Amino acid sequence: MNRKTRLILALDVTSRERALFLTELLKDRFDAIKIGYPLILSAGPGIVQEISKLAPVIADLKIADIPNTNRLICEAVLEKGASGIIAHAFPGMDSLMACIDSVAAYGADLYVVTEMSHPGAEQFMAPLAEDLARLAVNVNAAGVVAPATRPEKIKRIRSIIGNRIIISPGVGAQGGSALQAIRAGADYLIVGRSVFEADDPKEAANKVLFEIV
Ligand code: 3DU
């Protein structure tokens, strides 16, 4: 991912036309477009290919299965042009290694979830987040996902992963502050609803950009 604006658009819309319209409208303001189940299941896997022609795509499938199934899922989106993939670490080293092997074959990047940004993540994920970050380092992942809603956790994760990439969701609609997440050590902010649901999505993206420059 080329670091220009430090923003990643979470494109959680369910219409192919809206997704392509928003990608064209916003691609200059975002370093990558993150798409996941809502769009891929609604528009079909071909949407990965269509958006990849316009901007780098991170496939947020939060992959969490046995190694063979992980490999099949990774290959399905990598073949369609995704340049990044998000996977869970909790299924363990072998499952994560299957993702690493797949991305390596395609020259893509793997981002490993450490702790999610919603309140429920406090229940099971938060106590494990540092172990999950260590596993991301052990498999040599390109980066991790850490919560903008808890900047102090971004700091902790940064101290574990060194100079690997932190991509951070939870800004805007989930209440996280863009500036605080960047100050805590996030490399990229993942922003969705607060931009694409705004009356003027370009202006909403500009506001986040101005906040972090
Ligand atoms: O809350 P927003 O609309 O800005 O979207 C955040 C996106 O990031 C959304 O696609 C969600 O699935 C994803 N995400 C998290 O919110 C939290 C995580 O820990 C990981 C991914």
89 CA to centre of own chain: 14
φ/ψ of 36, rounded to 5, equals -140, -155
Q: Classify residue 123 by burial, with Cβ atoms within 10 Å: 0-12, 13-18, 19+.
A: exposed
The pLDDT of residue 23:
98
How many angstroms separate the CA atoms of 177 and 172, rounded?
Answer: 7
- Calculate how far, in angstroms, residue 37's C-alpha sits from the geometric centre of ligand 1: 12
Could you tell me if the CB of 208 is within 6 A of ligand 1?
A: no
Task: Calculate the CA dihedral of residues 54, 55, 56, 62 and round it to 10 degrees.
Answer: -90
DSSP per residue over 10-46, as a string?
A: E---S-HHHHHHHHHHHGGG-SEEEEEHHHHHHH-TH
Q: Considering the entire predicted model, what is its pTM?
A: 0.97
What is the residue with the minimal CA distance to atom 7 of ligand 1? 10
Catalytic residues: 62
Of 111, 116, 190, the residue with max ligand 1 atoms within 8 A of its CB, to mutate for a pocket test, comes to: 190
Please give the DSSP secondary-structure letter assigned to residue 65.
Answer: S
Q: Digits of tens for pLDDT over the chain (213 positions)?
A: 899 999 999 999 999 999 999 999 999 999 999 999 999 999 999 999 999 999 999 999 999 999 999 999 999 999 999 999 999 999 999 999 999 999 999 999 999 999 999 999 999 999 999 999 999 999 999 999 999 999 999 999 999 999 999 999 999 999 999 999 999 999 999 999 999 999 999 999 999 999 998
The pLDDT of residue 61:
98
Q: Which atom of ligand 1 is nearest to the CA of 121?
A: 19
The pLDDT of residue 81:
98
How many angstroms separate the CA atoms of 183 and 18, rounded?
Answer: 33
Could you tell me if the CB of 62 is within 6 A of ligand 1?
A: no
